[in-house]
Structure 1
């Protein structure tokens, strides 16, 4: 029977493949571009798949088509490279499950009906292939209906867990194709039914796990909002406390001046000095809550770590540039980045001898384009290494990986970088963030 791989109808099916791929990812992730760029990239992908299919090699098709689709996805959508791999595999398990299901159904129909169903790559197989694609598109709409409104994180580790059931079910259903199709009608129906259930169970489990992920993201967001509100409230209370102290001081200032005047007239200069020293200490003690930054969240992060440093006997010096702008960083990301790095520094310094516990922090604009968060801290345990890269002085590698991993990911999100080094007996952490990065 004549091979029909280079026909216009085959080009149509290749276009349908790319369109359904686009619909699947558009329901989950945001697009990088629209209009002409999207159309051109789609056409290029369609033509690549079309001419590759024309070769007629199943092995080549298996290796290159997913690669073409993956390249199309990561260039067209705002998706991480790892998530792109995971979701591309998930999509192809749906496609593969559909093909297995229809292959079994056609075998079954060929057994019970008095006509021959031609192979998909022939001109006569186009009509049956069209039915398969219509069913596949309806299946896609079914999935899209449930996942379209979900908020799926682009750095979502659970996407790899989504692969377990689809790959397992596809492996099981594909094994049916390498078995001799049984003669008993009941067993034939049972095989088709099992393939059908596996096909739709993939979608059901995928939707359930995606909804679970969405719920967990919302719970995490709610927790961060609560933390933010607590910090803002603490910041506001600190301001009120400082204002109250200064109002009391200003209320008593006339009385102090009158006392100084009388003592000076009596030649009691030593007594004046004693009162001034006592007053200075009192003011310092009552106004220990400092406003480091105009950002309530950053100020709360710094205030809490300064307080912890005092409790642990750590000499903590802090410089925050005046009128520092951090409003381009989300509150949750600011807490994660600055909080994790300060915690690392404090924990490392706390392990040193009491006379060698030091942390020096500077927050400033390196240029008008970059924010620099710079930390120097003493340490008792040398940093672990991974190749040429320093990791951390923290003893617990599990928690180290979590903290610095988060900071590294967020630094990349803001077009920056995290650099760690040991120099002159100090562990130096430099976080650089672009002030104009898209968050």
Structure 2
């Protein structure tokens, strides 16, 4: 009997580990194994964990710790997943496996229908549940993504109802126990059933309470995150909308300036015809100067909106004594929408201007933004001088800005825009300069 129980416990732990590998495969993770010390030691620990087995109905602390550690090492070593995600995966998967197995075991124990092979029934039932879930994993994942909040609420409600039922049943059993003690009315089978139910409460209650708390915390955190993302998105869209409207508004005046600039030869002829009247000549020249003022930096990138953006930013750079160097060819990028052009280039240059404005006047201030086409990619490189300290962590930038919530909005806006075109943003920082490089695939 003990030998068969041990064999079933080993099978139970084997299914626990194998099922996790199958889930990771379904999720698209690539398994890696090398003949290195860490891989070999992890394999030895997994074999040891399987040999120790996993019991039914009860889960001792040592077993739970071995389960957590086994899944954590699989994630960390074999699948190269980061520490935080590995811990979360190990805790959630292990608890779910324990809860499913324990629930089946105690349901069979206290069921009206008498089952002779309780351990075998539990193992087969839990295996069927997990294998079915793995087979339909993609479909279940889609349901979870679409209805996760409803599932959280349904599971939380169900678990709370079970807890209420357990409490009511326990209260009724206490009354029956009083009858047994006072009236000496002992029924062996009834006592046996009551002890089984008490054991069920003892073994399943902690997991039920733990899971219901996780669900409630998950709902709370997801609500906060969703609301924060919504506010952030609204702020980004509002900013982009304002920028876009502004650039469209100045387009007409810019076109007029361009016309004056290109018609300079005609103006020269008119001046020559007025050479005998110095007063008229001076007046005419002054009028031209007023119209041409500010048209020093005329850009021809192949996109009108981008030309306007560069022109406006160049004026800001002139006012702040920043050397602004531009070399952009945008002629093959018609697929990029106007609002994304505004988002990408306005935020790139705004961030660079902000960094330059923190530099002392005795240090050179410069911004160089250039683009080129390399091996099917449109590459934009923006470099600027700086002195402020920048910390880059997990592709996020942390600077000296006091407003932690609004900080990084510009970078997030750039990432949001280039993500539409399967592009990526790379950031490089040194003591005296900051470089942001954008790669967007071009057909």
Distance across 2 between alignment mates of 1:259 and 1:332:
42
Residues 1:85 and 2:86 aligned together: yes
Aligned-pair CA distance for 1:430: 2.4
Identify if the C-alpha distance between structure 1 residues 416 and 198 changes in structure 2 by more than 3 Å, giving closer, same or farther.
closer
Structure 1 residues 8 and 358, CA, compared in 2 at 3 Å: closer, same or farther?
closer
Residue 238 of structure 1 is matched in structure 2 by: 250
Residue 319 of structure 1 deviates from its aligned partner by: 1.1
Task: Check whether the contact 1:372–1:430 (CA below 8 A) recurs between aligned residues.
Answer: no
Q: Which residue of 2 aligns with 1:56?
A: 52
Q: CA deviation at 1:247?
A: 6.7
Aligned: 1:420 with 2:429: yes
Q: Which residue of structure 2 lines up, in the alignment, with residue 282 of structure 1?
A: 290
1:322 to 2:329 alignment: yes
The corresponding residue for 2:39 is none
Contact persistence 2:325–2:369 (CA under 8 A): yes
Q: 1:135 to 1:214 in 2, by over 3 A?
A: farther
Instruction: Name the CA distance, whole Å, in 1 between partners of 2:206 and 2:82.
Output: 34
Give the aligned length.
366
2:98: which partner in 1? 99
Cα distance change of structure 1 residues 117 and 144 upon mapping to structure 2, 3 Å threshold: farther
Deviation (angstroms), 1:337 = 6.6
Q: Name the SS for the 1:322 alignment partner.
A: coil
Q: Within 1, Cα distance between the matches of 2:262 and 2:298?
A: 19
C-alpha distance in 2 between matches for 1:212 and 1:146: 22
Are the equivalent residues in 2 in contact too, given 1:318–1:361 (CA < 8 A)?
Answer: yes
Written as runs of structure 1 = structure 2, the 5 A alignment for 1:119-198 is: 125-133=119-127, 144=141, 147-149=144-146, 191=202, 192-193=204-205, 195-198=207-210
Q: 1:146 and 1:50, CA in 2 relative to 1: closer, same or farther beyond 3 A?
A: same
Please state if 1:66 is matched with 2:76: no
- Which residue is equivalent to 2:218? 206
The unaligned stretches of length 5 or more in structure 2 are 33-42, 54-62, 160-193
Match of 1:430 among 435, 440, 443: 435
Conserved in 2, the CA contact under 8 Å of 1:421 and 1:428? Answer: yes
- Indicate how the Cα distance of structure 1 residues 278 and 347 shifts in structure 2: closer, same or farther if over 3 A, else same: same
Instruction: Please report how far the alpha carbon of residue 402 of structure 1 lies from its aligned counterpart in structure 2 after TM superposition.
Output: 5.0
3-state SS of the aligned residue for 1:130? helix
Give the structure 2 partner of residue 177 of structure 1: none
Secondary structure of the structure 1 residue equivalent to 2:371: strand
Residue 383 of structure 1 and its aligned partner are, at CA, apart by 4.5
TM-score w.r.t. structure 1 length?
0.56
Larger Rg: 2
Match of 1:364 in 2: 371
Comparing 136-145 with 352-361, greater Cα deviation is found at: 136-145
Could you say if the C-alpha distance between residues 435 and 275 of structure 1 is closer, same or farther in structure 2, counting changes exceeding 3 Å? same
Q: Which residue in the other structure is 2:188 paired with? A: none
Shift of 1:96: 1.3
**Distance in 1 of aligned mates of 2:69 and 2:368:** 51
Distance 1:61 1:306 in 2: 61
**CA distance 1:117–1:350, shift in 2 (3 Å):** farther
Determine the C-alpha separation between the residues in 2 that align with 1:437 and 1:203: 44
Secondary structure of 1:149's counterpart equals helix
Q: Secondary structure at the match of 1:148?
A: helix
- Asked if the contact 1:420–1:429 (Cα under 8 Å) also holds between the matched residues in 2, the reply is yes
Is the alpha carbon distance of 1:399 and 1:385 closer, same or farther for their aligned partners in structure 2, counting shifts above 3 Å? same
